[in-house]
Amino acid sequence: MNNILFDLDGTLTDPFLGICSAVNYSLKYFGKEAEHLDDLKKFIGPPLDISYKEYYDMNDDEIAIAIQKYREYFGEIGLFENEVYDGVEDMLQMLLDHHKNLYICTSKPYEYTIKILEHFHLDHYFKGVYGATMDGSRKYKKDVISFCLTSENIDYRDCMMIGDRYHDIEGAHANDIACIGVLYGYGSKVEFEAYQCDYIVENIQELTQLLLEGE
């Protein structure tokens, strides 16, 4: 595959502290602060509105306020409470050395995504960066991927998606492309198998080998 689409959170970087702290900050407004940040890991990956509704039974008005509070924290602090996984930069450079075209496809808003990539000096690896919109008009992974494919004129038959949650699998399959699930992120083998992920890898080394198979 010549065109490789990467999720960001849980795939290239570990956003645990920033995302979970921002969610907890938003929950404090409603008096629902979590006792342990680990309890909020489930917010990593899906669109925020879906998670607030699913896990805290918020209505639309509450969700709008929660997202506003989340962004108050995340936009100033949480963006940078993040870590690049060991081996990611070596993998990205190796893929470029083999003439692969690399793209970001994330449910995180584009504005935040660009700031994170620039802060961690990852932006130069990617030919294109695609994310959600702040107004929610594009938030599902399938729509982000579709926007990327259309904008870059990518043939879906020469494309692979890499992610760590079932949303990445659903988004890839909705666009008729295969998906690699990475187990070092926030998903699980059970989750990947349930959503019929095409390939599952344990670590960055396995991912790199799979992406370069046949080279």
Give the span between the Cα atoms of 185 and 43, in whole angstroms: 13
Closest CA to 171 of 180, 161, 181: 161
Which tokens in the block code for residue 85?
């996984």
Residue pLDDT, tens place only, 99-131: 999 999 999 999 999 999 999 999 999 999 999
Which tokens in the block code for residue 14?
């570990």
CA-only gyration radius of the chain, Å: 17
Which tokens in the block code for residue 183?
């187990």
Given the residues 7, 14, 143, 164, select the one marked as catalytic: 7
97 catalytic residue (yes or no): no
Give the span between the Cα atoms of 174 and 58, in whole angstroms: 28
Model confidence at 47, pLDDT cuts 50, 70, 90, reads: confident
